Structure 1
């Protein structure tokens, strides 16, 4: 398995795995499948190359994308883990931990000591996984942009000092 930053040549891989993620877990992300599918090839190229607001990493097995994660600097200048997803056949392996580790490195490499994410506490498997990765819940809530009936709770990871 290889985990690396996406680049412009990966735009089709990024598009496919992102759309697969949105089909598999439509209530886990802030964007709908229909919205993402409507993006142009140029928009996907910009995302993959990092010309957009987010930085994406891919987990690859024999050249096939099996997972992705993104990092973005929020409006409050805080790095956030976004778009985290692993294909079902690769869950429970080291893929997810590797993706989260890559986004932690990205955050620290950009001078940040914290990384945040938002997750539904009802998604017990994801919440437990993030706790294993050193995240803890904060008393901060928001609604899922793509489905306002879903409440998300913020989690934070703090780099060791």
Structure 2
């Protein structure tokens, strides 16, 4: 398995993974499939290159892209893990944990000592996974932009210095 930052040339792969994630788990992300499907090539190129803010990491098993995750400094000046998704046939393998490690390594390279994320508490599989990775629940909740009926809880992982 290879985990690496996306580059501009990966725009079609990032697009395919992102759209697949939104079809597979529509209530897990702040954007809807309909919104994201409207992005043009230039927007995807910017996202893949990191010029739009988040840095995306892609997981590959041979020539097959099997997962993605993003990392970004959010409006609260915290390093946030976003857009985590692994193809169903690769779940339960090391793909997800390796993607989280890539985000944590990137956060450390920016001098950050913690990573935050938001997750729906009823997404029990994701919650258990993040807890195994060392994330703990905080008190903050917010509504999911794409599905306001879904309340998210904040999780945070303090990383060793």
TM-score by length of 2: 0.99
Aligned to 1:71: 71
Aligned to 2:100: 100
Mapped partners of 2:160, 2:62: distance in 1 = 34
Mapped partners of 1:63, 1:82: distance in 2 = 24
2:66 is aligned with 1:91: no
**CA RMSD after TM alignment:** 0.6
User: Can you give the 5+ residue segments of structure 2 that lack an aligned partner in the other structure?
Assistant: none
Mapped partners of 1:59, 1:8: distance in 2 = 16
1:99-125, Cα deviation, whole Å (9 max, x unpaired): 001001111110110100000111111
2:10 is aligned with 1:13: no
Aligned to 2:30: 30
The runs of at least 4 consecutive aligned structure 1 residues that moved more than 2 Å come to none
Aligned to 1:80: 80
2:132 is aligned with 1:145: no
Aligned to 2:158: 158
Q: SS at 1:122's partner residue?
A: coil
Aligned to 2:3: 3
Aligned to 2:52: 52
Alignment of 1:108-119 (within 5 A): 108-119=108-119
Q: SS at 1:106's partner residue?
A: helix
Mapped partners of 1:30, 1:63: distance in 2 = 29
State the 1:40 CA deviation.
0.4
User: Can you give the 5+ residue segments of structure 1 that lack an aligned partner in the other structure?
Assistant: none
Mapped partners of 1:129, 1:9: distance in 2 = 31
Mapped partners of 1:135, 1:109: distance in 2 = 19
